[in-house]
Amino acid sequence: MEDELEDRIFYQTYISHMKLLSKFAVGLPLNTSYFSYIWRLIRFYIIKPEVVLLTLFLVVIFMYIQAVEVWSRSLVNKLRLSVSSSIPTKSQKLQYFKVTGDFDKLSWELKEGNVAVFAVQGRRPKMEDRFVVNENINGTGVHLYAVFDGHGGEFAANYARDNLINNLNSKIIELKQLISKGIDKNAINKPAPPSPAIGKKIPPSPVSLEKKPSFKKTIKEEGIRKQSGVITDPFLLEKLESLPRAITREVKPTRTTSAPIPPPDITSYIETNSTINFGKLVTDEVLAADRLLVEAAKKTMDVAGTTVLIALVEGSKLIVANVGDSRGVMCDFKGRAIPLSFDHKPQQSREKKRIEEAGGSVSFNGVWRVAGILATSRAMGDYPLKDKKLVIADPDILTFDLSDHKPQFLILASDGLWDTFSNEEAVSFIKSRLHEPHFGAKSITLQSYYRGSLDNITVLVINLTSHTWV
């Protein structure tokens, strides 16, 4: 009895103290009805299974967005990119995707004098880009730079790099020798040797075009030169399967019955003022190499193709040849972006008219495509579309007098860069990073990857800030 009385006294004392504390410290009377009311609200609105699960889901999503490096730019872009990347397109479902940031094994770089190149495989299963840097070809004073963006396999890009470039080097050296000897070009009618076919051993160029000692990473010889007929682009595979038999992979190899086209007279490239007509030379060599590439591809039924972007510099003269959607840009002395080439896209009125006159069509499936297959209207290779003349290899040639523009630098890059950068953005980005070891080529390549580029990315920068223009 006494214990029960003591408990009641203790309880009443405790309640009294709590009332006093709530009145003077909190200013709210201690009434259990308030707590029960709040508890009912929490239990009814907050502690519900669906509310708890939704809250946990949002917390996990927020932590994921903060952790992933590619979405570290802004909260709005994080949410937008997260939502868009969570719904893959038909062509992206089969693509090899990684965000590990390990570029050492999947990157290639070159630094030679005032020229730097950086390339990454990116989110593609294979590296199909190729590039060439050939400074002062055999002491002729002519510099050659090239970028090839392959698609549907590596065969076409390898062929263009090995055969087209070697043929151009040989022709330039031969023409320079003729000019230096002062031989009357009208007295010479020596045809140039035909371009070597694929599979034949190509004599080494006087200046090596590959395996530069300054390469940080290289591919094994059997891997980078592998001329496989395997198609790697899942979207291209799907489209080829659905098209009529005339332009599918099932076209059987045929022997060419037409007589080979004789090469033009080598002296036809020499102007009356003893200079080389580089525009005509590059055009003829690209078309000749493309004919041989198509013949070789038909034998193995390889539907690979490649873009071509070649820049030739002699003194203050710059000649740029473009086939496809790789692109060149120049930063002039005022910091303005000057296009060195213009993309060949199927939706352009000139290209669309040509395709339709050849019996083809241009359709939209994410991007505009020739016959629903190819996103560029010009390329080397692509023989199923080349046979119908839906895709051609005729290059556009642009010539520039660098003494007028006094450029700070030139950029040549595959469309993996231009998918995420405009000309002006790329010029501004590189201009602020010319002090870096790769003149900004490495930085802009990685930045393009982080922005979400899905293609191979190759960027070649020619730094001309120290050049004195007359």
Give me the DSSP letters along 54-106. HHHHHHHHHHHHHH-GGG-S-HHHHHHHHHHHTS--TTTTTS--------STT
Would you state the pLDDT for residue 291?
95
Give residue for tokens 């033009």: 264
Give the mean model confidence (pLDDT) for residues 200-214: 38
Would you state the pLDDT for residue 233?
58
Fold entry, domain 110-181+265-463: Phosphatase 2c; domain 1 (3.60.40)
Q: Model confidence over 19-41: pLDDT tens digits?
A: 666 655 445 454 567 667 777 77
**Band (250; pLDDT cuts 50, 70, 90):** very low
Would you state the pLDDT for residue 261?
74
SS (H, E, C) 107-139: EEEEEECCEEEEEECCCCCCCCEEEEEECCHHH
- Res 69 pLDDT > 60: no
CB 413 within 8 A of CB 427: no
The pair phi, psi for residue 463, each rounded to 5°, is -85, 120
Burial, 441: exposed, middle or buried (Cβ in 10 Å; 0-12, 13-18, 19+)? Answer: buried
Residue bearing the bigger pLDDT, 346 or 470: 346
Would you state the pLDDT for residue 451?
94
Would you state the pLDDT for residue 228?
41
Task: State what percent of residues in the chain have pLDDT above 70.
Answer: 69
User: Which of the listed ranges 68-82, 236-250, 404-418 does the model predict with the highest average pLDDT?
Assistant: 404-418
**Band (232; pLDDT cuts 50, 70, 90):** low
**Band (51; pLDDT cuts 50, 70, 90):** confident
Q: Model confidence over 128-172: pLDDT tens digits?
A: 999 999 999 999 999 999 999 999 999 999 999 999 999 999 999
pTM of the model: 0.67
List, in sequence order, every residue forming a beta bridge with 129; answer none if it has no partner.
149
CB 147 within 8 A of CB 309: yes
Give the mean model confidence (pLDDT) for residues 44-72: 70
- Res 335 pLDDT > 80: yes
Report d(CA 453, CA 460) in Å as an integer: 17
- Residues with Cβ within 8 Å of residue 379, at least 6 apart in sequence: 151, 156, 305, 306, 307, 308, 323, 324, 391, 393
**Band (323; pLDDT cuts 50, 70, 90):** very high
CB 164 within 8 A of CB 205: no
Give the mean model confidence (pLDDT) for residues 299-308: 94
Mean pLDDT of the chain: 78
Give residue for tokens 């595979």: 237
